[in-house]
């Protein structure tokens, strides 16, 4: 499977570690940058193009890394069709997929050790969406699935 990754300067090292880890496992990984840790970057400039490519169906999944994971999630979730979850542990990564059908994982390089971060990535990518009642709940909040006039 193919996925897309990006980071700002504060997520560069972990982003590259994630890329190496996934390529060694046979994933095809599109890296949208940054290309150097000295490239000071604003996280929206990386989160929004990645979120748009996932929402457009160019990639099934995306991974964004910044210092905390928070800015990337805030920015990515502005894109309709993007469901980004900042997951600091494997339980939340599993639930973000199983219950929330998250299609973008965000990580914080300043928060996570390497082993934990790669475990979160593997868990996120290996967990299927449970569907059913969880899809019905998602349909209540995603404007691409509902008529805007139905919002209370
Ligand atoms: C950059 O200093 C930092 O603010 C950014 O990487 C991210 O953590 C924002 O949420």
CATH of the domain at 136: 3.40.1400.10
Q: Which domain holds residue 18?
A: 2-150
Q: Distance from the CA of 143 to the center of ligand 1, in angstroms?
A: 28
pLDDT single digits (tens) 30-81: 999 999 988 889 999 999 999 999 999 999 999 999 999 999 999 999 999 9
- 121-145 pLDDT, tens digit each: 999 999 999 999 999 999 988 766 5
User: CA 141, CA 21: separation in Å to the nearest integer?
Assistant: 34
Residue 36 annotated in active site: no
Q: How far apart are CA 43 and CA 138, in angstroms?
A: 26
Using CB atoms within 10 Å of the CB of residue 71, give its burial: 0 to 12 exposed, 13 to 18 middle, 19+ buried.
buried
Ligand 1 centroid distance, CA of 136 (Å):
33
In this model, does residue 88 exceed pLDDT 60?
yes
pLDDT for 147: 59
Length of the chain: 152
Nearest CA to ligand 1 atom 5: 67
As for how many domains the chain has, the answer is 1
**Ligand 1 residue neighbourhood (C-beta within 6 Å):** 8, 10, 43, 66-68, 70-71
């Amino acid at each position: 499977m193919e996925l897309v990754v990006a980071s700002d300067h504060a997520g560069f090292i972990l982003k590259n570690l994630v890329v190496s880890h996934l390529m060694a496992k046979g994933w095809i990984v599109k890296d949208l940058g940054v290309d150097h840790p000295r490239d000071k970057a604003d996280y929206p400039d990386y989160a929004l193009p990645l979120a748009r490519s996932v929402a457009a169906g160019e990639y099934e999944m995306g991974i964004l890394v910044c210092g905390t994971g928070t800015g990337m999630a805030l920015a990515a979730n502005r894109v309709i069709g993007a469901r980004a979850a900042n997951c600091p542990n494997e339980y939340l990564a599993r639930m973000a997929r199983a219950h929330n059908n998250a299609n973008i994982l965000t990580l914080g390089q300043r928060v996570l050790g390497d082993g934990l971060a790669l475990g979160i990535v593997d868990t996120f990518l290996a967990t299927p969406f449970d569907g059913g009642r969880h899809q019905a709940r998602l349909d209540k909040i995603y404007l691409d699935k509902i008529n805007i006039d139905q919002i209370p």
